[in-house]
Structure 1
Amino acid sequence: MSTATRTDFDAELRRHNEVLRRACGIQSGEHVLDIGCGTGQTTRQAARKARAGSALGVDLSAPSIEHARQLASAEKLRNITFEHADAQTHPFPQDHFDLAISRFGTMFFADPAAAFANIRRALRPAGRLVMMVWQARDHNEWIVAIRRALEITDASGADAAGELNPFSLADPPAVTELLEAAGFAEVTFTDVHEPVYYGADIAAALAWIHGFTCTSETLKRLDHAAAERAVTRLRTTLAAHTREDGVWFDSRAWIVTARCR
């Protein structure tokens, strides 16, 4: 393993994070809801921008929320809170938030119609939604290259283990219809063409990719020799994407914005 900084989602999405931050345009007095906040990087950024307002981060992962609280406490942020909650069903205060944001945290709703309706109820009448989601799988080199190395050939968007599809919000007409039905209007899509960072070197990137469900589940199904061959193919793929500043893969995402109707 590399001795460099361990790869995590914040590191992976460092370029995307800047794009989202600019797109949100958070004002000092706004109250911000961060959906699928993970360990709270985007929530902390929102709290710093909304100095006279507040930021609430929610996530389904209890360990992530606990870590987020620790990081916010270390930064002495007083206008921030975190809740271990499901944004689909959580009883947010109605008409409270000025802005709902999400960095790849809205693609896994079991019931997206109910989820976005619940988020809409939490927003004020003039409230905004700004979320980042992946474009179609075939437009994302990171998943195409990994699946090719693992010789995954099924045509579905979901991982081999049957997880919900990380590309479920890739289609603009379908997402527009979904959001309009939930009470949003003025839905727009902005192309985001930025690379994802997988680590300082091949060893770090391989460790990160091992945590992906499609990788771990595929390797579990293989016998030892086949798994070794798959890992060798992964190493070759990572070597082809290694630069002086680490391992990077091309990706495409959408910034989706909408206003409450």
Structure 2
Amino acid sequence: MDERMKKILMEKPDLVSKFPSWMISPESLERMNKNKNLVILEIAGRDSFAALFKYMGSHDIDGILPTIAYTGTEFGDWHCLFDNIKYLQGRLLTTYISIYPPVLMGAPRLWAMLCGATTALSLSRYGFYSPCIGCHLYLHALRIPLALSLGKVPVITGERESHDGVIKINQLRIALEGYRELYNTFALPLEMPLQHISQNREIEKLLGIPWERGKRQLDCVLSGNYVDEDGNVSYSEKAIHRYLTEFAIPTVQKWLEEILND
């Protein structure tokens, strides 16, 4: 990670579509446009990479563009994400697949609209509040302008409905359907190869290396905000559906239209 990337991660500017030439060089852009099977990959923890390898089992890939998105609530060592890219490069070293330099992206103002300034609205209108569903919608939305600019290429994400029985409110089926609905609006494929894989041992098989869950990734200060004192997660699918369809998705769509028309 060079000093320019460190500066972006310190300042967290709105960076979604007009990337500096040192991040996406004209040469890289020309090469990517020649790839017939380019994909955009989220770079986070182990599920991101397991999702890619699962996807590769049934799809041809000749180019991978790693993307690292930032929110306002993460903490930890950012270097681990760049180290994860090195793992990917080592894993695919003997293949013909091009792995491009990583792209950083984020939009703190959008995150605030979806997750930070919605507590009272969400509680009064939908009867619950958690920033996590809006945050995952935010993370997926960030990659839409880039995917469109590269010819509507697939975006691969490591979303899973269950993690050995552990429920995450932002990865419930109803939430994943909402994320896909946003992508469908732009005729984009949001690939979730791990959606129906619950067992962690299957993830480890795909990775081919020991990788403990939750390691080599950033943490969030709001992690577990929807878990009660007994460790239970209660939710209403109807409320989540209303939150997504009445508020979150329209908010993101309006924001994206402004970005794309700028």
- TM-score (normalizing by structure 1): 0.35
Higher strand share: 1
Of structures 1 and 2, the one with the larger relative CO (CA 8 A, separation 6+) is 2
